[in-house]
Structure 1
Amino acid sequence: MSRNKPEVVRFLNDRLDWNLLRTFLVIMQERSVSRAAARLHLTQPAISLALKRLEETLGHSLIQRRGQQFKPTPAGEEVFRIAGEIYGHLSKLETELADKGEDITGSVRVLSVSRMDSWVYDEYLAEFHRSYPRVDLQIEVMRSSDIVSSLLQMTATAGLSVCRTPQDKLEQRCFLRQRYAIFCGRHHPLFGRQGLTMADLLDQDFVSFTTEQLGESLSPISVFRDEHRFTGHTIAISSSLDEVRRLIFAGYGIGCLPEHIVRDDLLQQRLWRLPPDEGVADIDIQLLWHRARKMNPAERMFLEGMERTMQRYPVQERLGSR
């Protein structure tokens, strides 16, 4: 005899393991079983088994995999949405209990790259201050290499930085994924031209970041230029995103910038998007902290809250303003 809907709901309530939903959340956010395993400090077979158990419990396939491609099924998308809502409610419950049980004080020092354009980050900082108004927060803007060096010396709570080479002593979570593309400015000869191809760009001079050198945080841009045999010279260089953007606008050369940062520049026709359509490289901003550093209660609350927030919102939803 088939079960009616209330009986099915009770059946799931009795048998569904929250840990399976949490594992599925991480798989979806990372878009990779191997990366989910690394983030949860589990083996790939354990993650795959958890996914299989969840699919068997729900009676639906949740993920389709074809080679390196990863695509959730319609059921997978719905489970991901509901699991995110559940996790959000649990996070709010934990915050409410913490507020009533503890009056936390202390200092939190965060090191960050410039232009952290993320509404999720902005909202989290507001939420953290509401929950812990007596905690002092210090945020310093630095280059990625300096952030990693400072964290290795245990002089800060956490960092938001590019870190292409994992550090044994640092925990890292992907917080933002920025896609870099090639642009020229209003004063450049290519501005406004339709139907351009990569061949039209190869002899153009470049505006570069100081960190585009091999081994540095933006080295994928340099690799892209080498692979496509660009012959133009690097005519202007800066460590500041805003200054690179300014030099590109001024017509010194073409250059790479994060797509989401320059949306208004494109609308105002200050910058012009150049090939390739798919962009040049995805550069991840990582949340980093030293796993052996002794954290005060305020620092622990800050990091735990950041991790809960990252569980709540997929990487692709964290960019930009709202």
Structure 2
Amino acid sequence: MRADVARFLNDRLDWNLLRTYLVIMQERSVSRAAARLHLTQPAVSQALKRLEDTLGRRLIERRGPHFEPTRAGEEVYRIASDIYGHMSRLETELDDRTDDITGSIRLLSVSRIDSDVYDEFLAEFHRTYPRIDLQIEVMRSSDIISSLLQKTATAGLGLCRTPVDKLEQRCFLRQRYAIFCGRHHRLFGRQALTMDDLLAENFVSFTSDQIGDSLSPLAVFRDQRGFTGRIVAASPSLDEVRRLIFAGYGIGCLPEHIVRDDIAQQRLWRLPPEEGLADVNIHLLWHRARKMNAAEQAFLDSMERTMQRYSLPERLGSR
């Protein structure tokens, strides 16, 4: 980049445009970015156009409702993520009040949040706010939502298929579910299987894997494909569903990224379809009208900065 162009960008670039672009890339949707930023969709589209005009590069190629970042768009996203990551750390380092913040946080969570980014977030949050106490309770997504609506907890990490009135929600993880069987199942290790080979098999299921519930996409998939096997075992716990699949009770659905080691160790076997079944989101949820103490507000602000810094795929990957 020429020196005169670099000086122009340093002097004239509106950093709010980068912030908007970060959210667009993280949500992979202009409409979802608009909802998250509390802006109209035309305002977000205009911000993207202004950023592209300022940089003199097309950042996103639109294909109907979907889009793909260009090579320049990927690079701008990487640089913008670094900038906002450094700004967040600078804000924390310069704020000498962080050691003085005390209080308690009650966080409700579904079982098995598997994310290196989340683990590092918790470690950094504790270093920054050593006098804040954190209580994490594991429960079903429906119970998380009920508790949040009653204002009895700070926030929740759970499944939320449709927006809930009074609750704010941010997509924290996007998990791709696929079908697996365990080492003790008759289909284990068999090659060239088709969907027809699975239709009569019994199923291990989540208790929320029902039409209308938080994991209903899995139930809808079975119904549409004509599965005739019965549900022979169920649990609200991901680890228990995984255990039952391994034990050979039936085939079942699990998030792909969580069972990578099980596949490598030949405890589980991936079944059709190759592309998986459905994406299921884990959301950060909180009651928008609940009065937060200083500790709770610091937690929510820190979580939002983490989500700005890392894209959805990065939050699932190993660092």
TM-score class, shorter: over 0.9
Equivalent of residue 18 in structure 2, options 11, 17, 21? 21
User: Hey, what's the Cα distance between the residues in 2 that align with 1:118 and 1:99?
Assistant: 29
Pair 1:270-2:267 in alignment = yes
Match of 1:183 among 160, 180, 183: 180
Residue type of the partner of 1:145? S
Q: 1:61, CA displacement in angstroms?
A: 0.5
Contact 1:27 1:33 in 2 (8 A): yes
* Match status 1:65 vs 2:62: yes
**Residues in 2 aligned to 1:65 and 1:190: alpha-carbon distance in whole angstroms:** 42
Matched residue of 1:293: which SS?
coil
Q: Which amino acid aligns with 1:84?
A: S
Correspondence for 1:9:
6
Match of 2:217 among 199, 215, 220: 220
Q: Deviations over 1:67-87 (max 9, x none)?
A: 133100111011100100110
Q: Which of these residues, 143, 146, 150, is aligned with residue 143 of structure 2?
A: 146
Q: What is the alpha-carbon distance in structure 2 between the residues aligned to residue 149 and residue 60 of structure 1?
A: 46
Root mean square deviation, CA, Å? 1.1
Deviation (angstroms), 1:262: 1.0
Q: Distance in 1 between matches of 2:98 and 2:147?
A: 33
* Corresponding position of 1:76: 73
The whole-number CA distance in structure 2 between the counterparts of 1:172 and 1:98 is: 27
Distance 1:11 1:276 in 2: 51
Which TM-score applies when normalising by structure 1? 0.97
Mark the runs of 5 or more structure 2 residues left unpaired by the alignment: none
* C-alpha contact (below 8 Å) 2:173/2:282 kept by paired residues: yes
Q: Secondary structure at the match of 1:211?
A: coil
Tell me which residue corresponds to 2:194. Answer: 197
Output the amino acid matched with 2:282: I
- 1:125 equivalent to 2:122? Answer yes
* Equivalent of 1:310 in 307, 310, 315: 307
Distance change in 2, residues 1:97/1:68 (3 Å): same
Kindly indicate whether the alpha-carbon contact (under 8 Å) linking 1:117 and 1:320 is maintained by their aligned counterparts in 2: no
SS in 1 for 2:276: coil
**Counterpart pick for 2:296 among 296, 299, 303:** 299
1:212 CA displacement? 0.4
Give how far 1:250 is off.
Answer: 1.2
User: How big is each residue's C-alpha offset from its partner over 1:32-84, in whole Å with a ceiling of 9 and x where there is no partner?
Assistant: 00000000000000000000000000001000011133100111011100100
When normalised by structure 2's length, the TM-score is: 0.98
Are 2:19 and 1:35 equivalent residues in the alignment? Answer: no
Deviation at 1:229, TM superposition (A): 0.5
Q: Taking structure 1 as reference, are residues 195 and 13 closer, same or farther at Cα in structure 2, changes over 3 Å only?
A: same
- Deviation, structure 1 residue 267: 1.1
SS in 2 for 1:71: strand
1:8 & 1:134 partners in 2: Cα distance?
Answer: 46
The percentage of counterpart residues that share the same residue type is 77
Segments ≥4 residues shifted beyond 4 Å: none
Per-residue deviation, 1:235: 1.2
Amino acid at match of 1:257: L
Residue 92 in 1 paired to residue 89 in 2? yes
Give the number of equivalent residue pairs: 319
Work out the CA distance in 1 between the residues paired with 2:98 and 2:229.
62
Structure-2 separation of matches of 1:102 and 1:117:
29
How far residue 99 of structure 1 moved from its aligned partner, in angstroms, is 3.2
Which of 155, 159, 162 in structure 2 is aligned with 1:162?
159
**Residue 97 of structure 1: how far off its partner (Å):** 2.3
Kindly provide the amino acid, as one letter, of the partner of residue 278 in structure 1: E
The verdict on how the C-alpha distance between 1:82 and 1:212 changes in structure 2, with shifts beyond 3 A counting, is: same
Please say if residues 203 and 231 of structure 1, whose CA atoms lie closer than 8 Å, have aligned partners that are also in contact.
yes
Extract unaligned runs of 5+ from structure 1: none
Distance in 2 (alpha carbons) for counterparts of 1:245 and 1:168: 33
Q: Does the Cα contact within 8 Å between 1:104 and 1:134 map onto a contact in 2?
A: yes
CA distance in 2, matches of 1:116, 1:101: 27
Alignment correspondent of 1:286:
283
Q: Return the alpha-carbon distance in structure 2 between the equivalents of residues 279 and 72 of structure 1.
A: 24
Which runs of structure 2 are paired with 1:250-269 in the superposition (5 Å)? 250-269=247-266
Mapped partners of 2:218, 2:264: distance in 1: 25
* Structure 1 SS opposite 2:208: helix
**Aligned mates of 2:204, 2:191 — CA distance in 1:** 22
